[in-house]
Amino acid sequence: MTATRATQRPLRPGVEWEFEKLVISRDFSRNVVTRLLVDRAEHGGWELDRVRISPDGTRRVVLRRKIIRQRQLV
């Protein structure tokens, strides 16, 4: 399994998302992949954006989480 961080990009004004791309080998069972993604969601604040399963069985997963910017109080 490999993970890369993508750049931050706004999907609509005022909301920014951070993306993480995972490539998961076909050697991992569905239960293991589910547990991995649930752990990332619960402990890292990630949510599932996209899953693509290639013909060779590898899973390409894109996770996202909202970036919350703190406003300066004047």
pLDDT of residue 30: 95
Q: Give the pLDDT band of residue 16 (cuts 50, 70, 90).
A: confident
Q: Burial code of 38-72, b = ≥16 C-beta within 10 A, e = fewer?
A: eebeeeeebeeeeeeeeeeeebebebbbeeeeeee
Res 65 pLDDT > 90 = yes
pLDDT of residue 28: 96
Instruction: Note the pLDDT tens digit of each residue in 22-58.
Output: 999 999 999 999 999 999 999 999 999 999 999 999 9
The structural domains of the chain, with segments of one domain joined by +, span 2-67
pLDDT of residue 15: 78
